[in-house]
Chain A
Amino acid sequence: MTTLLRTEGITKAYGGVQALNGAEIAVEEGTIAGLIGPNGSGKTTLFNVITGYERPDAGEVWFADRPITGLAPDKVFAAGIGRTFQLTRIFPRLTVIENMLIAAQAKDRPRNMLAWFGRDAWTHHRRHAMELLAFVGIERHANVLAGSLSYGQRKLLELAYVLVADPAVILLDEPAGGVNPTLINMIADRIRQLNAEQGKTFLLVEHNMEFVMGLCATITVLESGATVVSGAPDIIRSDKRVLDAYLGADLDEDDGTAAEPVLNKETGR
């Protein structure tokens, strides 16, 4: 297995605040990786650095053995890294299907100026987009304005339109945040399915420990912008530094009761 996405010694400061301080992460191809850490530990900043929304002060981002540090977001996306946002960012005044087409058109560039005005190439995009909407279960809403979707539906739409461009790695920023339990399970299922059937690589930030532990093969823990530890969920769960920094005594106490079903879920896959 090869490392598909990797960061080395990323630092990023906002004024006096050191958001990232040597953050390192490595995501193996075809795996689901997790990124956890307390609030303000730099998870989203690391996502922003990887996807080109922020330029790091120092350090390198490698994607498929190619440095992509400081590339513009559209170039990073074209290279094959898709992402969702913590607060979902959809295009509220476009319809759901139009949201999907925005991402779809990134893949095939029109051959000439006139093709920009055409819509001929859209039929197969439209069909693919509808399939993906059905995959996440919101195809009935294809022609409504995306702004009228509920929060959970927006999360699904965001996932779908990242998928439409068929990226190699998908970065998910809190896919389960603020979403009802039924939907959380559905999102987890979809991620698992994409991983198993199409070999998609995922990197996800999440505070829902059950979700992360059940889904991810490797987990990286960030604290104060630096990587504390990285490894399989079992290792993370029992790591003293992680317990002190993030998971805290709560999960320690829960370990006897709540951790068991989580483990089952994990091994059950």
Chain B
Amino acid sequence: MKAQTLAKSGGLVVLLVFAVLFPQVFSNPSVTNYGVLALVFATAAVGWHIFSGNTGYIALGQAVFFGSGAYAMGIAARDWHMQATAVFELLPLSAVTGALIAIPFGLIALRVRRHTFIVVTIAIFFIFQLMAFNFWFTGGSSGLGSPFLSWAPVPYNRNFYYIALACAVGAIVIAWLVGRSRFGLQLRAIRDDEDRARGLGVKAMQVKMAAYMISGTITALIGGVWFYYLNQVQPQTGFNPLFDLTLVLMIFFGGYGSIAGSVLGALIIEPLSLWLNTIPALNGFNEIVLGAILLLVLLFMPRGILPTGAEFITKIRTRGRPAVVPATTIGAAPSATPSAPSVSSGGAR
């Protein structure tokens, strides 16, 4: 057990060192571009996991937070005449915007469950896209541009890489803290049987809302980073219907319900899809190829690569041993519960 924990933390340190060194080793901006966008999606995927992965409520309206974070930054930078690196001070504003939008969004969507919840999140998503197209302060269909950053291409990408990495690590830490806390336990109880959880004193609406707000905060924050990185946002890119689809595909690809799976899915799918875009022969077909790869993976690893891979490793390691230790039935084995008599400490005879 201890060796396992050690191996795990060792692995994490190696991963983190690799992540930190990546832009130093591969300084080519077209390579670091992959890194920045992969980390943006990894952060968003972890944000999705905190709410949807834990509660089982499949949210397809995360682009609402992503786009709102981007727009909040763009609008504030424009109206407050902010320049260059000072714009980064607006990132907390993006995050708060996400949390605030999650409140009315959640009050509507979290009243319903399952398929209805999915449909409601999609509907709200389209309302936001329409608002971005039509409000006077959002720049209409041409969207918003960001202030200019006078960094050369190499440090430009590298700096954004580290900002995105910090966001991703922060999101992972939050997700981990949520997962091990009683809050996370309540979220997973809601996933298994919400009504039963309520009957055991779980304030389901409050707990779901809190998780949704955390999720919205993280997604909006990374939306702000993404906006400043690309220097622009339009209604159809900020509030992109493919955003949520991509996010969910990444998570189901990597492993639904686990932090590592969500991150892994994003780190594989996003660079892959960017790379497919660059192949001239695939021009126009790249999304079909990506779709086919995803379908194949889902066909052979329906629970995602991480859980299926872990099962495979366990299978190899435990080959020859019985899969399940035979359990004795309760009534038949009184001798197996030697502690039973001493336990009725509530005043037993």
Binding site for B on A (CB under 8 A): 51-53, 72-74, 76-78, 83, 85, 89-94, 98, 101-103, 105-107, 110, 116-119, 122, 131, 134-135, 137-141, 150, 152-153, 156, 161-162, 165, 180, 182-183, 186, 193, 197-198
Cβ B340 vs Cβ A137 within 8 A? yes
Cβ B343 vs Cβ A119 within 8 A? no
Cβ A135 vs Cβ B344 within 8 A? yes
A122, B198: Cα distance in complex, Å: 20
Of the residues A53, A92, A180, A183, contact of B192 by C-beta under 8 Å: A92
| CB-CB under 8 A for A118 and B198, given A102-B189, A140-B337 | no
| CB-CB under 8 A for A105 and B330, given A73-B199, A83-B199, A89-B196 | no
Of the residues B330, B347, B348, contact of A152 by C-beta under 8 Å: B330
Most chain A CB atoms below 10 A, which of B198, B201, B204, B329: B201
How close is B331's CB to chain A, nearest CB, in angstroms?
3
Cβ B188 vs Cβ A106 within 8 A? no
Binding site for A on B (CB under 8 A): 177-178, 180-183, 185-186, 188-189, 191-193, 195-204, 327, 329-332, 336-337, 339-340, 343-348
How close is A107's CB to chain B, nearest CB, in angstroms?
8
Report the nearest A residue to B177, measured CB to CB: A117
Cβ A91 vs Cβ B193 within 8 A? yes
Cβ B186 vs Cβ A180 within 8 A? no
Q: Is the interface of B mostly helix, strand, loop or mixed?
A: helix
Of the residues B197, B203, B343, B346, contact of A102 by C-beta under 8 Å: B197
| CB-CB under 8 A for A165 and B200, given A91-B192, A102-B186, A117-B177 | yes
Report the nearest B residue to A132, measured CB to CB: B343
Cβ B344 vs Cβ A193 within 8 A? yes
Chain A residues positioned under 8 Å from B346 (CB to CB):
197-198
A134, B348: Cα distance in complex, Å: 13
Chain B residues positioned under 8 Å from A91 (CB to CB):
188-189, 192-193, 196-197
Chain B residues positioned under 8 Å from A180 (CB to CB):
331
Cβ B196 vs Cβ A134 within 8 A? no
Of the residues B198, B331, B336, B344, contact of A182 by C-beta under 8 Å: B331
How close is B171's CB to chain A, nearest CB, in angstroms?
15
Of the residues B196, B201, B331, B347, contact of A165 by C-beta under 8 Å: B201
How close is B149's CB to chain A, nearest CB, in angstroms?
36
Cβ A135 vs Cβ B343 within 8 A? yes
Cβ A103 vs Cβ B331 within 8 A? no
Of the residues A52, A53, A116, A165, contact of B182 by C-beta under 8 Å: A116
Cβ A106 vs Cβ B198 within 8 A? no
How close is A173's CB to chain B, nearest CB, in angstroms?
12
A204, B199: Cα distance in complex, Å: 17
| CB-CB under 8 A for A119 and B181, given A74-B202, A93-B191, A180-B331 | yes
A83, B199: Cα distance in complex, Å: 8
Chain B residues positioned under 8 Å from A90 (CB to CB):
193, 196
Chain A residues positioned under 8 Å from B327 (CB to CB):
141
A197, B327: Cα distance in complex, Å: 31
Chain A residues positioned under 8 Å from B343 (CB to CB):
131, 134-135
Cβ B182 vs Cβ A101 within 8 A? yes
Report the nearest A residue to B344, measured CB to CB: A135
Chain B residues positioned under 8 Å from A83 (CB to CB):
199
Chain B residues positioned under 8 Å from A139 (CB to CB):
337, 339
Cβ A186 vs Cβ B196 within 8 A? no
Chain A residues positioned under 8 Å from B199 (CB to CB):
51-53, 73-74, 76-77, 83
Of the residues B192, B200, B329, contact of A106 by C-beta under 8 Å: B200
Chain A residues positioned under 8 Å from B195 (CB to CB):
53, 73, 89
Chain B residues positioned under 8 Å from A150 (CB to CB):
329
Further pairs besides A72-B198, A77-B198, A117-B177: 4, Cβ < 8 Å:
A90-B193, A101-B182, A110-B182, A116-B183
Chain B residues positioned under 8 Å from A106 (CB to CB):
200-202
Cβ B336 vs Cβ A140 within 8 A? yes
A183, B339: Cα distance in complex, Å: 18
Chain B residues positioned under 8 Å from A85 (CB to CB):
196
Chain A residues positioned under 8 Å from B202 (CB to CB):
74, 102, 106
Chain B residues positioned under 8 Å from A73 (CB to CB):
195, 198-199
Most chain A CB atoms below 10 A, which of B177, B189, B200: B200
| CB-CB under 8 A for A183 and B331, given A77-B200, A103-B200 | yes
Chain A residues positioned under 8 Å from B188 (CB to CB):
91, 93-94, 98
Cβ A134 vs Cβ B337 within 8 A? yes
A72, B339: Cα distance in complex, Å: 38
| CB-CB under 8 A for A89 and B339, given A98-B185, A197-B347 | no
A72, B199: Cα distance in complex, Å: 8
Most chain A CB atoms below 10 A, which of B183, B345, B348: B183
A90, B200: Cα distance in complex, Å: 11
| CB-CB under 8 A for A117 and B183, given A72-B198, A74-B203 | yes
Chain A residues positioned under 8 Å from B329 (CB to CB):
150
A110, B206: Cα distance in complex, Å: 14
Chain A residues positioned under 8 Å from B201 (CB to CB):
74, 77-78, 103, 105-107, 165
